[in-house]
Structure 1
Amino acid sequence: MEGMLCDELLQEIMRRLPASARPAASLVSKRWLTLLRSSIPSLSLCLPCGSALSSAGVAPISSILSRYSSLSTLTLVLHASSSSSSGCPNPSFSSDAVLLSLSDCASSHLPHLRHLRLLAGPVSTSVLSALPLSSPLRRLASLQLSSLRPLSFRWLLQFPFLRDLSIHDCSSFSAAAAAAAPSSAGILGGIPNQQMTNGEEEEEEEAEGKEIALNYLSLAGIRAGDHGVGWLWRRCPNLQRLHLRSCEGTGDGPSSRFFALCLQNLREVELRTCRAIADTVLLLIADHCRSLSTLVLYDGGSRDGLHHFIRRCGSALRTLDLRLPLDLDNGHLSCCLITGDGLRSLARAAAGAAIEELVLVNCDVVEREPGLLTFLGQSLRRLRKLDLSHNELLLDKELGAMLASCGNLVEIKLRGCKGLTDAVMPSIFRFCALLEALDVTRCQGISAKGVEFLILSSPRLRQIHVEEAKVSESAYIWASRRMIQVY
């Protein structure tokens, strides 16, 4: 029976297998195992400590990857217990060795590789710049790195097809440490460390004006004094999505004059725990960006900064996500100064009228100002997605009054709203006829009776997130008949 199907047909079948079925398929025969490996499009590997990844020790990685010729997405992560300083004496050496080995392996066995996550310690920028022109890594569309050594982005000119870039920690390796550390050329022996000739200097000067075609950029840990980031801001005029996490500045001094150059075409901005720069970024976005559709602001921003943004951001805004860190109590307002006046101003503005998604997670203003949610519901008529998770004092009456004006909602998240009870379920059924997804996990006041009522009553419900103990047998039967997924 096995020989009746040719390799090409079996590979096509295996590409369509769910991940849960692959282990069983790999046990059928050696032929099936080989074909399964060669048809898998994505793979994640956990690497051992850096001492095991010498230039000779990376051979097993190449041997493993050579069996996966259809890979388009690859993740390489350093083992958590190996990433400590006691267990891994030279993590940058490991990542450089892995990157060079991967480049050689990709040339022979991974022609389709387009997405790479290399989270195995700092990567030397000299290694990135010196990859062979024929290396498939230069054709990557997305790249995620733990950090760079030193912090520099000039190597991006060697990756013309790169569209998504993420650096998880821009502060982990200082310039002083980079100067004191041995060069990658000395360690790996594959990259000569030579002074640039006059011709190379002319080429570098000519490349200074080149633009980088990044669409998505995610950086974490940028400090005000980090030099070299301004070079990146100047060359990303077409950037559409920008995520900043735990940043104390935008680089190149206390106030980078180049940062505004990348804001013109932004459609999505996410700021997480960027307290020092949140207001500055909001002001610059309001002044330079006219097509922003999504703003995500976690733990940062002030009333004045938010007001200015609301007045100037225009009518393109569709998603507004404001939340307080879940490890802070509601009395802690130094990091998220969101006020009822600010949200009311948003609702009255042209930008508010166009918003389709509103996220107010663990946001104490919901509890401090009765009637605010009702006003928002009456003003944000286009709202389709609502997330009020972890507002523990949110009550049935307040939520019901808001939902009475939100007839277009298709998704509601109420995870961790301990003040809600079964009494809110009839309001959801009555006012949200288009509802497709609901999350009531960890809502202690909502019982199996309320969950069953909604499953039996809501005509368009397709997903419900709730504890298994709150789903009765009859609710499960009805959900299966109506193809409602219960998580």
Structure 2
Amino acid sequence: MDTMLCDELLQEIFKRLPSTPSAALSVSLVSKRWLNLYRSSKTSLSLRFLPHNSMLVSLSSLLSYYPSLSSLSLVLSDSITNANSSTATAFTDHLFFIVSSSCSNLNHLRFLVGPVSVSSLFSLSRSCSQLSCITISLSKPLCISWVVSFPCLKELCLYICPNGVNKFGSLLNEELDAEFGLETLFLSGIQAGDEGIGWLWRNCKRLKKLQLKNCASVGDGESFSSFILCVKGLQEVDLRKCRSIVDGVLLKLAENCGSLNSLLVYDGGSKEGLLEFINTCRCNLQKLDLRLPLDLNNTHLSAVAMNLRHLSTLKLQSCCLVTDLKLRGCRKITGVTLFSMSKNIKCLQSVDIMNCPGIEAEAVEFLVLNCSQMRQMVVEENKVSNIARTWALHKVIEVTSG
């Protein structure tokens, strides 16, 4: 069997195998030939390792077996201990050099080992010019001008380290006009006074998706005015744990963005800021995902019903102040919605699910049994089982079909 199939055919077969450890183990046990062909056909590799100098030699040897890699993920399982910042930087840069010199066909790179130096990034751009997606960590002061060196870059994920040494400093000409083709941008850890971010905002005019996490600012003093330039074409925005800037970002979106169709806000903002956005946004928002335990109440949901007429998906998590849901006539809602409601809206007291054909008796019964604060439910009589009716009486829940 081993000699009947040519190398090219085996490689095509291996490309179609599931990316699971069991599949890789099964192939590798057949013969050395199969193992070598499997490695040479593999286009994606994900590695998690402990920091040790022996890893440098091992990684160089390992990557030589995978000449066709287009996607590579390297993640450190533990921080680099017993080493000063210069030693840690040297380890990271050496590892980064091995990647850039061994994987010239990369399209996607996720490198979360430690802050990457500017010189290493410029070196990467010469070796891997086709990169379209980069995920890395950077130290301060920030230098982001290297982005221009990647002409195919569409997705950029930056984790800003709170402490670190960037020996090159800013190295950024703020007057440089270098508009690039980024469509997705993820930023984590931006603090007030971080320079260089304003330059990034000014040149991201094709941005479609923006994600901010653990950010206390959008950069230094001038960055918010530059931020307006990148929001006009946004279609998706995710804001996670960015309480101090959520209101400002939502205000700019409401005033300047007419293309937004998806918004996620987790753990941040204020009641007033969110309500202002809902009442004034000009976009046809279709998906709204909120995890706001103390910042979302019935007033917000009423505003959603009045103003977000194109909404097709509403997801609420840990929304403790929401007590009244009117879903009458929502024909695409299913029982899965009620299961999720019972788990996430613990204070739910009233729900109207009349004329919702996707909701069946089983889901109604589940809602009655699991919502301890429920006091009123409006639903068709034929969807109320005997068990649901008994429990409704026991828990003093008014069930009507009006």
> Within the alignment, does 1:155 sit opposite 2:146 as a pair?
yes
State whether residues 229 and 251 of structure 1, in contact with CA within 8 Å, keep that contact through their aligned partners in structure 2: yes
State whether residues 354 and 382 of structure 1, in contact with CA within 8 Å, keep that contact through their aligned partners in structure 2: no
* C-alpha distance in 1 between matches for 2:367 and 2:154: 37
> Deviation digits for residues 259-285 of structure 1, max 9, x if unmatched?
111100001111111010010000001
Q: Corresponding residue for 1:266?
A: 234
Give the SS at the match of 2:284. coil
Q: 2:44 aligns with which of 25, 42, 45?
A: 42
Shift of 1:106: 2.0
Q: Corresponding residue for 1:241?
A: 209
TM-score (norm 1): 0.68
* C-alpha distance in 2 between matches for 1:269 and 1:258: 17
Q: Corresponding residue for 2:312?
A: 356
> Within the alignment, does 1:404 sit opposite 2:354 as a pair?
yes
For 2:91, the aligned partner's letter is S
State whether residues 393 and 418 of structure 1, in contact with CA within 8 Å, keep that contact through their aligned partners in structure 2: no
Q: Corresponding residue for 1:6?
A: 6
Shift of 1:382: 6.4
* C-alpha distance in 1 between matches for 2:342 and 2:15: 37
- Counterparts in 2 of 1:269 and 1:132: CA distance versus 1, 3 Å: closer
- Counterparts in 2 of 1:178 and 1:210: CA distance versus 1, 3 Å: closer
Q: Corresponding residue for 2:116?
A: 123
> Deviation digits for residues 36-93 of structure 1, max 9, x if unmatched?
11122211122332x517xxx734322211211222210111132xx15436863322
For 1:21, the aligned partner's letter is A
Give 1:440-459 correspondences, 5 Å limit: none
> Within the alignment, does 1:93 sit opposite 2:90 as a pair?
yes
- Counterparts in 2 of 1:383 and 1:162: CA distance versus 1, 3 Å: farther
Q: Corresponding residue for 2:375?
A: none
For 1:359, the aligned partner's letter is K
For 2:114, the aligned partner's letter is G
Greater Cα shift, 290-299 or 308-317: 308-317
Give 1:42-81 correspondences, 5 Å limit: 42-49=44-51, 52=53, 58-80=56-78
* C-alpha distance in 2 between matches for 1:263 and 1:356: 22
For 2:370, the aligned partner's letter is G
The unaligned stretches of length 5 or more in structure 1 are 184-192, 325-329, 422-426, 432-444, 447-487
State whether residues 103 and 131 of structure 1, in contact with CA within 8 Å, keep that contact through their aligned partners in structure 2: yes
> Within the alignment, does 1:141 sit opposite 2:132 as a pair?
yes
Give the SS at the match of 1:345. helix
Give 1:363-442 correspondences, 5 Å limit: 363-366=319-322, 369=323, 372-373=324-325, 375=326, 377-378=327-328, 386=337, 387-388=340-341, 390-391=343-344, 393=346, 398=350, 401-407=351-357, 419=370
Percent identical among aligned pairs is 39
* C-alpha distance in 2 between matches for 1:348 and 1:146: 42
Q: Corresponding residue for 1:178?
A: 166
Give the SS at the match of 1:121. strand
* C-alpha distance in 1 between matches for 2:341 and 2:289: 10
- Counterparts in 2 of 1:213 and 1:44: CA distance versus 1, 3 Å: same
For 2:99, the aligned partner's letter is L
State whether residues 392 and 419 of structure 1, in contact with CA within 8 Å, keep that contact through their aligned partners in structure 2: no
* C-alpha distance in 2 between matches for 1:68 and 1:10: 16
Q: Corresponding residue for 1:25?
A: 27
Q: Corresponding residue for 1:346?
A: 304
- Counterparts in 2 of 1:131 and 1:38: CA distance versus 1, 3 Å: closer
State whether residues 272 and 299 of structure 1, in contact with CA within 8 Å, keep that contact through their aligned partners in structure 2: yes
State whether residues 163 and 214 of structure 1, in contact with CA within 8 Å, keep that contact through their aligned partners in structure 2: yes
State whether residues 188 and 214 of structure 2, in contact with CA within 8 Å, keep that contact through their aligned partners in structure 1: yes
* C-alpha distance in 2 between matches for 1:406 and 1:69: 54
For 1:283, the aligned partner's letter is L
TM-score (norm 2): 0.81
RMSD: 3.4
